[in-house]
Amino acid sequence: MKPSTVNTGAEIRRFPDGFQWGVATSSYQIEGAWDEDGKGPSIWDTYAHTPGNIHNDDNGDVANDHYHRHHEDVDLMRDIGATAYRFSVAWPRVFPDGAGAPNRAGIDFYDRLVDALLAAGIEPYATLYHWDLPQTLQDEVGGWQSKDTAKAFADYAGYVSGRLGDRVKHYFTINEFASFVEGGYQGVDVKVGGDEIVHLGAAPGLRLSDSELKQVRHHAVLGHGMAVQAIRAHGPAGTKIGFADNIRVAVPTIDTPDHVAAAERATRARNAGFMTVMLEGRYTDEYLAEAGGRSPVFTDEELGIIAEPLDFVGLNVYKPGWYVEPSDEAPGYRDIPINASHPRMQSSWHLLDPEVLYWAPRLVQNLWNPPSIYITENGCGASDVMAHDGRIYDSDRVMFLRACLGQLQRATSEGVPVHGYFLWSAQDNFEWMDGYGNRFGLVYVDFDTLERTPKLSASWFREAARRNAVV
């Protein structure tokens, strides 16, 4: 049969030249070697070692053993066509007590990793905080409850950019502010049936009041701003810096100017404690009035630091935050309830709407017009198993990726400045409270043997990256 001469989607749905096709991971979720070569304990080591916190009482002691297998993992990334890799640096590997003398063996690991990536033609993008706070800072100053942690974070960020800056040109300061602040310092109560309520938390597993929580948020964004200043001071000129936040996106139900304006207002309001203040340098009046107007306590100088100019904004986008429609009454939008039959992916929180990959960057551009945007995470958990023929047929992930990338391509074709996409995740790994029971990787990991096998979605990714298009 003659091949079709009709244009294929891949010829039409191309991304701009130079678009990065990346994969992402984080230190605690893959490295293992939790107490090797001088590394100090992190709050996640402590939290996962406490029985009852994690599904199956799993922990990250060994994880994917990436610390010892990073050469194999870099080869796999190269084989699946990744042009960029977003990894995180474990702060307690580099500063075992959070501050003080650096641990040479710790930073040497990232030196070796970066060299291996560059030799494989993969651009390194480093995240400096993906939640594994040194336990000493938790014990001695109360973690992010204290401004001292923000300062220690900046010192650590400056040191890392000084050591890796000749080869690492892109940094994300902090990953997903809301996840570690709300999850770690307040947690959420989820009704699981009948009257039973389960408290879902993250390290360090505290339960603060609303006003205390707002102060923690303030220290987190302050830590981000201080880290930006420290990287600018210690890294080479031209180093590019941003954050990677899980923006809560209000999705309009109808694409008309009044609905889009309502979605913008809602998105700006719901992100007031993190993205809005980092990009505007002020807390909204509504945000300041919450929790009885008692918090956060801050100075104008701190607001200036929090809003240090950035080179790009990183967005972790998995799901719609919620849906809105316009309203004549303040605040100018109304939340819409989500239908019980709305489709979902495997994770309990994962409401499915690929269009969020269009709306997230478009609303961010409309609201704040940053010079550049990256999708720093997108992906889905799935019930992957190895079939009799040794392959892993993750058809739901392929469906999810094709639909999401299609919407992202719609954004770039309309001129939204998205310069790269990082798929979560390069390989199956420790999925926080779900332990090893929820797989997000392009590469399957047998957690008994630690053998790695690329899935069907890895073939999809390779082809999309090769053609720089939705395939």
Number of residues interacting with ligand NOJ: please give it, by CB under 6 A: 9
Question: HSE-up of 445 (CA within 13 Å, CB side)?
Answer: 26
Question: CB 198 → ligand NOJ: shortest distance, Å?
Answer: 18
List binders of ligand NOJ among 256-285 (CB under 6 A): none
For ligand NOJ, the binding residue among 58, 353, 377, 384 (CB under 6 A) is 377
Q: Which is nearer to ligand NOJ, 161 or 425 (CB)?
A: 425
Question: CB 440 → ligand NOJ: shortest distance, Å?
Answer: 6
CB 23 within 8 A of CB 86: yes
CA distance 306 to 314: 16
Q: Which is nearer to ligand NOJ, 60 or 143 (CB)?
A: 60
For ligand NOJ, the binding residue among 65, 302, 308, 431 (CB under 6 A) is 431
For ligand NOJ, the binding residue among 440, 444, 460, 461 (CB under 6 A) is 440
Q: Residue 236, SS3?
A: coil
Question: CB 424 → ligand NOJ: shortest distance, Å?
Answer: 5
Enumerate the known binding-site residues for substrate.
29, 130, 175, 318, 424, 431-432
What CA–CA distances, in Å, run from 394 to 117, 191, 460? 27, 30, 11
CA distance 89 to 76: 20
Q: Does 358 bind ligand NOJ (CB under 6 A)?
A: no
Q: Is 377 a catalytic residue?
A: yes
Q: Could you tell me which residues are beta bridge partners of residue 114?
A: none
Q: Which is nearer to ligand NOJ, 100 or 437 (CB)?
A: 437
Q: Which of 31, 123, 176, 302 is catalytic?
A: 176
Question: CB 350 → ligand NOJ: shortest distance, Å?
Answer: 8
CB 274 within 8 A of CB 178: yes
User: What is the number of helices (H) and of strands (E) in the chain?
Assistant: 17, 15
Q: Does 175 bind ligand NOJ (CB under 6 A)?
A: yes
Enumerate the known binding-site residues.
29, 130, 175, 318, 424, 431-432
Cβ-based burial of 269 (10 A; exposed 0-12, middle 13-18, buried ≥19): middle
Token pair of 16, please?
């701009």
CA distance 379 to 352: 11
Q: Could you tell me which residues are beta bridge partners of residue 323?
A: 251, 336
Token pair of 313, please?
């904004």
Question: CB 381 → ligand NOJ: shortest distance, Å?
Answer: 7
What CA–CA distances, in Å, run from 63 to 113, 448, 455? 17, 10, 19
Residue of closest CB approach to ligand NOJ: 176
Q: Could you tell me which residues are beta bridge partners of residue 212?
A: none
CA distance 222 to 248: 20
Q: Which of 31, 182, 264, 377 is catalytic?
A: 377
Q: Does 316 bind ligand NOJ (CB under 6 A)?
A: yes
Q: Does 182 bind ligand NOJ (CB under 6 A)?
A: no
Of 15, 18, 9, 226, nearest to 128 by C-alpha is 226
List binders of ligand NOJ among 8-27 (CB under 6 A): 26
Question: CB 56 → ligand NOJ: shortest distance, Å?
Answer: 16
60 Cβ partners below 8 Å, 6+ apart?
28, 29, 31, 32, 34, 44, 45, 48, 430
List binders of ligand NOJ among 206-225 (CB under 6 A): none
Question: CB 458 → ligand NOJ: shortest distance, Å?
Answer: 18
Tell me phi and psi for residue 297, to 5 degrees: -90, 130
Q: Is 176 a catalytic residue?
A: yes
CA distance 157 to 363: 30
List binders of ligand NOJ among 24-43 (CB under 6 A): 26, 29
Q: Which is nearer to ligand NOJ, 26 or 59 (CB)?
A: 26
CA 227, 232, 235, 240 dihedral sign is positive
Q: Which is nearer to ligand NOJ, 149 or 175 (CB)?
A: 175
CB 173 within 8 A of CB 245: no
List binders of ligand NOJ among 389-428 (CB under 6 A): 424
Q: Which is nearer to ligand NOJ, 165 or 435 (CB)?
A: 435
Q: Which is nearer to ligand NOJ, 83 or 246 (CB)?
A: 246
Q: Does 287 bind ligand NOJ (CB under 6 A)?
A: no
For ligand NOJ, the binding residue among 73, 176, 245, 428 (CB under 6 A) is 176
Establish whether the linkage from the previous residue to 331 is cis, with ω within 30° of 0. Answer: yes
Residues designated catalytic: 176, 377
Which residues lie near ligand NOJ (CB under 6 A)? 26, 29, 175-176, 316, 377, 424, 431, 440
